[in-house]
Structure 1
Amino acid sequence: MSWTNIWVHVVFATKHRYPFLNDAIRLKVFFHMKQNAISKGIQVDFVNGYKDHAHCLISLGREQSLSKIVQQIKGESSCWINQNKLTKNKFVWQDDYWAASVSERHVERVRHYIINQEAHHATKTFKEEINAFAKKNNWPQVNWKDPSTEVDAH
């Protein structure tokens, strides 16, 4: 029998970072994302985020690929949000995501970070958060546009 213990911190944003996930629906969406993922054999430890993004702490199974899991979580959740008309306009996640491995000794720290997203974003923007995530993982800084100036089909 093969065993794995591969923790991954995944972050993904709404299309154009549009603030779909307002206080009225955010917890409902994140709860659904976790419960649905678990029902499909995806070990999601915690899901939380803010108005325009989500964080997931995932433990990959031995036959699971990160890209397929993220695709399932994002695809099913956007479909569920739209079917239940939780947003006024069509809900869409952006195509990309950020993911980094988490050592077993840092799982509790990452879990705490994800749990405290609302307090975290009282002092830091999503742009600052992702660029800090990129710096920590030696990735290039993200070249951001102000979403308020982007044309949005919503």
Structure 2
Amino acid sequence: MSELMKIVKGKSSKFINDNQLTQYRFEWQEGYDVFSYSHSHINAGYKYIANQEEHHKKQTFKDEYLSFLDKFNVKFDERYIFENLK
């Protein structure tokens, strides 16, 4: 997974910067998280992605992310979660 994320982050950063899609140089944060689901939940995953914009009108990404951490019993220090997000 770490090698895949290295490639995804590198290629997407290069694309964004080469095409000047942001006013400033784009860089990914250092870390990332990966959550997996069983094959039987694949349709729910597709629906979630398709409706993500609407979904986040009801629940912020930060709130949803924190609920994932709780759901998967991931221990974390909230001081270091989304330092720049409200």
Once the two structures are TM-superposed, the CA of residue 85 in structure 1 deviates from its matched residue by: 0.4
Corresponding residue number in structure 2 for 1:105: 40
1:68-147 equivalences in 2 (<5 Å) = 68-141=3-76, 143=78, 144=81, 147=84
Q: Name the structure, 1 or 2, with higher relative contact order (CA <8 Å, separation 6+).
A: 1
1:30-69 correspondence to structure 2 within 5 Å: 66-69=1-4
Q: Distance in 2 between matches of 1:83 and 1:109?
A: 34
- Give the strand-richer structure, 1 or 2: 1
- Number of corresponding residues: 84
Over 4 Å off, 4+ runs: none
Q: Distance in 1 between matches of 2:24 and 2:74?
A: 33
Amino acid at match of 1:67: S
CA distance in 2, matches of 1:107, 1:148: 29
In structure 1, list runs of 5 or more residues that go unmatched: 1-65, 150-154
User: Structure 1 residue 115: deviation in Å?
Assistant: 1.8
Q: 1-side partners of 2:82 and 2:65: how far apart?
A: 14
Displacement, 1:101? 2.0
Residues 145 and 98 of structure 1: CA distance in aligned 2, closer, same or farther (over 3 Å): closer
Distance 1:117 1:141 in 2: 25
How much has 1:140 moved relative to structure 2?
Answer: 2.2
Counterparts in 2 of 1:105 and 1:67: CA distance versus 1, 3 Å:
same
TM-score, normalised relative to structure 1: 0.49
Q: Residues 141, 120 of structure 1: CA spacing in aligned structure 2 closer, same or farther, 3 A cutoff?
A: farther
> Identity, % of aligned pairs?
37
Unaligned runs of 5+ in 2: none
